[in-house]
Amino acid sequence: MPRKQVHEEHENLERWLVSYADFITLLFAFFVVMYAISSVNEGKYRVLSDSIVQAFNEKDTSDRVVHLGQNRASILPGSGKPIGRATEEKVPPNNPVAEHMKTIAKDVQNAMESLVKQGQVRVTQSPRGIQVEINASTLFASGDATLQPASTQALAAVAKVLAETDNPIQVEGHTDNIPISSPNYPSNWELSSARAGSVVRLLTEQGVQPGRLVAIGYADNKPLDANTTPEGRARNRRVNVLILNKVEGERELNLGN
């Protein structure tokens, strides 16, 4: 029988395409994963972009507060129109509310002029109203809430100014972060509240209507300076008397109710 002829198989020269296709597929999958990991959060990007635009569009001359009673008024971060001897600004005649608040601020400054010059009292004005910041050492002995005789005269002069107005008044007591524990004041909460109450009581005794007054104790929860230095702690021990404008005062009363 004739021998069956064996056909020689030709080598497939296109087998490399299979490996190449697999490689391309894996490479594509790799870049898809990398893109998914590095994709930008559109919401965060918009927030960042808006913040940067707002920061560059902000005016340097806006939102400022000036201390009263200084030869050269210093600008502080805050909000409100600057008032003071060096940078006194005329209030438009068609704005009786601002005119009234500015008059009160000047009268309070004059009533406590000696303490302002000593740096024990700071008077500032903002859209919320007038703030009189009094160093606690001027009013009270350490760890006590009884007004010292030397301070009652200045507060009595302020009370005469406030008695002639009808603006709501908020008195705040603040302490440093050093704990106190005594029979009368178990903590800084009681001490700060008692100090605010002592000032409120003196104001009422000098003719300010009690219904306009509120006493609040914040303890050491609203510091103005770091409590790590004696100077910072002294700054934080204070009593703030806030003479609110009528709109702000009515709003806070409504929130309280």
- 79-133 pLDDT, tens digit per residue, is 444 333 333 444 445 567 778 888 898 999 888 888 888 889 999 988 889 999 9
Residue 26 has which token pair?
């894996």
Residue 19 has pLDDT above 50, yes or no: yes
**Sheet with 169-174, edge to edge strand ranges:** 121-126, 129-135, 238-244, 169-174, 213-217
Residue 67 has pLDDT above 80, yes or no: no
CA dihedral 242, 146, 230, 116 (to 10 degrees): 50
Which domains can be identified in the chain, with CATH numbers? 61-256 (3.30.1330.60)
Residue 7 has pLDDT above 80, yes or no: no
Q: How confident is the model at residue 78 (pLDDT cuts 50, 70, 90)?
A: very low
Q: How confident is the model at residue 247 (pLDDT cuts 50, 70, 90)?
A: low
